Amino acid sequence: MQSNKLWPEELSFLESINGDRFQEYRHCPFLTVSFDAEVWILDFGKSEFCTLDFRLKLENGSLLTDETNRLLLDLFKCWICIQSHSDITGGKLISISSAYNSCRRVFSLIDYFLLNAGQFKLSQYGLMNVTENDIFNLLAQLASSNETSTSIYQLPIKLTEFLKREISEANIIELNALIENNSELALDIPDEQDCMLQLDKQEIIYARAILWSKGYYKSDYRTKKRLESYRFSPDYEKLFEIIYPNSIRAFTSKPQAPELLFDQINSYVKEYPRASVTTTLEETMSVKEWSAYRSAIRSLGQLKEIGLPAPILALNATDPAFSHDKFSLKEAGRFKTVPNEIVLKSLRQAIEFTLSNGKQIFDSAIAVIEAARKEGVSCFTYSINNDIRPLLDPKIQAMGVSTWNLRTLISPFESRHGHSARLTSAEYFQRLRNNEGLFEVLRVLFGAIQFSIGTLVARRQAELLGLIAGRSVDLEKRNLIFDNGKSGIGEIREKEARPIPPVAVKMIDLLEYFHKRLKDIGASNRQVELFSYPNMHTGAPGPADTKKYNSNLDLFCDYFETGLNDKGERYYMRQHQLRRFFAMLFFWGNSFGGMETLRWFLGHTDIEHLYHYITESTPGYVLRASKAQFGSEIIRTDPMESKALADIIEKHFGTREFSVLDSDELQEYIEELLLAGRIEIEPIFFMTPDGQSFRIAIKVKESPLEKFNG
């Protein structure tokens, strides 16, 4: 039986010097088993549930869990535990999700050392053989890719080597016979530039055949952008047991090699590719994530406090004084701004759809869910066996709704008359817009409400997801009550109240009406999030999360056919973009007729009062970004509107042809000027014979340097 004593007798004096740290560094709130367990189970709540098996072979054939490797194992384990300790967090109590992200990085770093055990001679020296140059190289590797699957695990190289080795050892005659009998293995080979691996076309086909013959494929895979689905994809969990036998977390989610996916099926997730929502597309790691990895490596040095053999000298390479400029890193991406006219049109559609059809859609959904519950079957099954139209509100019948879900549309009649057993993507989205499926219409409604409230209250998505039905507005129904997403201690968030317009209150009332009806019929018996929507089968509301929230927004955009960019990509909008548009409505209101719409949305008639409402309810940095976008567009279309600002921009970019400048770079520079106080972009209110009006003024301040030089 393994001893519970942490240190050999000769080091026991350390316990009396730094007693409590010995125990504190061996415990963490998410560890559900004893520190000495050979297999760890970590519970990070909603973030992740992790199993770590430390029974791994080192380069000399010994196991990491052998007594001879005790100090190295304890070093790795304590490294994980201290990620939530105040010595590492700077005295802050961090949230479970933050702890998970910190530990996730440490898992990858531990794997880096385990996968290179021979180079570092881990069984002999632990990490004491690691040099400052080794750490510098590790930081450089991390910087080289935004995917640790490439930088840490070298997946493209390792998988290529594995498949080439398998091909060289395979019976080619048997492979050709297998391919002949399964022709789909040879179809749809991507172009070379779209492939991950260093395999030619024939090798790709052979690789597919080998993986197929050995049972290394699994069914149903959806690409990262969620536009394409494939019936078969490599089973990485099985493959990685062979490719990475001595790692603790290699089997976690990794990007699939496109060339190994086959048998593409129609996708109902999105109708078009998504227009990029951020301004940076580079494949290198972001400065923020790289800095977090550097901090994780640096935290290893803390274990010297309890006598563990951490490579202190090597960790000098992680000194924050060393600039990240030495590495090719990606600056944090800025969220791109969707064209104003597209968002304004979508906002009108969202509000009109909700106010015109919302209650009737909810009542119809309740009727179907209740009928299915009475028969003791799922809503899906009920819809197959019964005509749901008599249950629907007359207005919803008139919209064209005929079934619960579009997947039930292939009736025996349609099948007998030659229809495919699965709708094509084009058929699905056409029938979506024909309103044939009630569940899809219900999700479009949720998307419309999310779009409207998300735009008009300008809060973070996490704050909206945390809204609880029945507790999201104050008694006077004038303020939204939410947990601030960026303040508080650990999992505890500060409660905040911010003004909310009447039309948003109507929508919240509508959602709360729906949740109350679900409780009345027994489909819900818990306190639910405001944006929780029913399960397609049971009708019970499931937990609201980012994936579902964004999926509803996507469906809303496809239903109303939101505009495309010049690449044929659709603007599938996200909350980060919508909260900026809230303020943009004001700045552009007089330019494209949005002011009256905005006043109607918010229930204000006085323009100055309207602006005070916006500044009160919109975070400062969001308002600043909106002003910067306004300034950018003005200077590109009419430089004479603010000659002084044009002069500053010309001096910075070296050109007066502002229309040729990258709009995002220009906007970023103007935002820097606002932050530095060199310019102000504010409305000026005045009275006219027709009532109150305003114009946006751009005021340039003299910089201290210019004043001195003058």
What pLDDT shows up at residue 111?
96
CA angle 78, 284, 249 (to 5 degrees): 35
Q: Per residue in 365-383, pLDDT tens?
A: 999 999 999 999 999 999 9
Which is more confident, 389 or 222?
389
What CA–CA distance (Å, rounded) separates 549 from 443?
10
Among the ranges given (99-108, 165-174, 469-478), the one the predictor scored with the smallest mean pLDDT: 469-478
Q: Per residue in 303-356, pLDDT tens?
A: 999 999 999 999 988 887 665 556 655 554 555 667 778 888 999 999 999 999
**What phi, psi does 401 have (nearest 5°)?**
-65, 130
What pLDDT shows up at residue 352?
95
DSSP state of 33: S
What CA–CA distance (Å, rounded) separates 90 from 524?
42
**Run of H or E including 40:** strand 39-43
**What phi, psi does 386 have (nearest 5°)?**
-135, 150
**What phi, psi does 151 have (nearest 5°)?**
-70, -40
Buried b (16+ CB within 10 A) or exposed e, 92-116: eebbbebbbbbbbbbbbbbbbbbbe
What CA–CA distance (Å, rounded) separates 667 from 626?
9
CA of residue 198 relative to chain centroid, distance: 30
Structure tokens, 469 = 């039905």
Confidence of residue 414 (pLDDT cuts 50, 70, 90): very low
Q: Strand, helix or coil at 521?
A: coil
Structure tokens, 289 = 């994530």
Sequence-separated (6 or more) residues with CB below 8 Å from residue 620:
none
Contact present, 317 and 135 (Cβ < 8 Å): yes
What pLDDT shows up at residue 181?
93
Q: Per residue in 683-698, pLDDT tens?
A: 888 888 877 778 888 8
Beta-bridge partners for 614: none
What pLDDT shows up at residue 710?
38
Q: What single letter denotes the amino acid at residue 361? A: I
Q: Per residue in 115-139, pLDDT tens?
A: 999 999 999 999 999 999 999 999 9
Q: Per residue in 430-489, pLDDT tens?
A: 999 999 999 999 999 999 999 999 988 878 888 999 999 999 998 888 888 887 654 444
What CA–CA distance (Å, rounded) separates 477 from 430?
39
DSSP state of 476: T
What pLDDT shows up at residue 495?
78
For the chain, the 3-state helix, strand and coil shares in percent, each to the nearest 5, are: 55, 10, 35
Which is more confident, 461 or 49?
461
Sequence-separated (6 or more) residues with CB below 8 Å from residue 242:
162
Residues making up the chain, counted from first to last: 710
CA angle 47, 50, 55 (to 5 degrees): 160
Which is more confident, 91 or 62?
62
Contact present, 4 and 56 (Cβ < 8 Å): no
Alpha helices in 376-497 (DSSP H): 379-385, 394-399, 412-416, 425-433, 438-457, 461-465
Which of these, 202, 216, 201, 200, lies nearest to 172 by C-alpha position? 202
Percent of the chain past pLDDT 70, that is, above it, reads 84
State the pairing for strand pair 229-234/217-222: antiparallel
Is the pTM here over 0.75, yes or no? Answer: no
Q: Per residue in 245-265, pLDDT tens?
A: 999 987 777 788 989 998 776
Structure tokens, 316 = 């000098």
Among the ranges given (25-29, 218-222, 522-526), the one the predictor scored with the smallest mean pLDDT: 218-222
Asked if pLDDT for residue 413 goes beyond 80, the answer is no
Beta-bridge partners for 42: 31, 50
Q: Strand, helix or coil at 430?
A: helix
Confidence of residue 398 (pLDDT cuts 50, 70, 90): very high
What CA–CA distance (Å, rounded) separates 81 from 73?
12
CA dihedral 94, 333, 621, 290 (to 10 degrees): 30
What CA–CA distance (Å, rounded) separates 319 from 85?
20
Contact present, 307 and 14 (Cβ < 8 Å): yes
Which of these, 310, 316, 299, 306, lies nearest to 82 by C-alpha position? 299
Query: Mean pLDDT score of the chain, rounded to an integer?
Result: 84
In the chain, where are the structural domains located? 9-146+284-320, 155-265, 340-559, 619-709
Confidence of residue 522 (pLDDT cuts 50, 70, 90): very high
Contact present, 451 and 444 (Cβ < 8 Å): no
Half-sphere exposure for 134 (CA within 13 Å, toward CB): 18
Which is more confident, 358 or 704?
358
